[in-house]
Amino acid sequence: MRIIRLIIKATPICIIALILVKLIIINEFADIGEKVKSLDARLSRVQEENEILTQRYASASSLLTIAIKAEEASYHAPAKDQYLSLPIDQFPVAVAALK
């Protein structure tokens, strides 16, 4: 009987305590939405940057780019006939050795 009475007496206190806890929690979470929104925006931005970087990587490693860079660096497909030009006063090593 005493226990029941104790519970009845404690109930309003518990309810008030729980209301207070709820208020505190709601207060704490009230501005979290703003943070979530900003995190979502950051996530979206990072994904976008990731896509752009992937695109740049693919572009830089494409055969199209490599072929242009190779051309700029003077790499050409070997011609069928190749000639070696020497200045007039120089001779190939084998000929120079005979002289």
Partner 1 sequence: MWRLWLVFIFLCSIFFVISIRLFYWQVITGNTLKTQAANQYAITRSLPAIRGQILDSDREAIVLSQPAFLVFGEPQDIQDPRHVSRKLAEILSLDESEILRMLSDTKRMWIPIARKVEGKTYEDIRALKLKGIGFEKESKRYYPESSMAAHLLGFVGSDENGNDKGYFGIEGYYDRELRGKDGIVQSEKDVKGAPIIIGETKRINAEKGRSLTLWLDRAVQKIIENRLKDGIETYGAKEGTVVVMDPKTGGIVGMASYPTYDPTAYTTFDKSLYKNPAIADNFEPGSTFKVFVMASGIQEKLITPTTVIDEKGPVQVNEYTIRTWNNEYHGSISMTDVLRFSSNVGMVYIANTLGKDTLLQYIRNFGFGDITGVDLEEEQSSKLRSDRDWSDIDLATASFGQGIAVTPLQMVRAVGALANDGWLMEPHVVKEMIDSKGKRIDIKPKRIRQVVNAGTAKIITEMMVTAVDKGEAQWAKPKGYRVAGKTGTAQIPVAGHYDEKKTIASFVGFAPADNPRFVMLVTLREPTSSPWGSETAAPLFLNISRDLFQYYGIPAE
Binding site for partner 1 (CB under 8 A): 25-26, 29-30, 32-34, 36-37, 44, 48, 51-52, 54-55, 58-59, 61-65, 67
Nearer to partner 1, 64 or 98 (CB): 64
Question: Cα 41 to the chain's mean position, in Å?
Answer: 15
Residue 70's CB is within 10 A of a number of other CB atoms, namely 13
Least distance CB 87 / partner 1 (angstroms): 33
Residue type at position 57: Y
Least distance CB 14 / partner 1 (angstroms): 21
- Give the Cα separation of 1 and 93 in Å (integer): 120
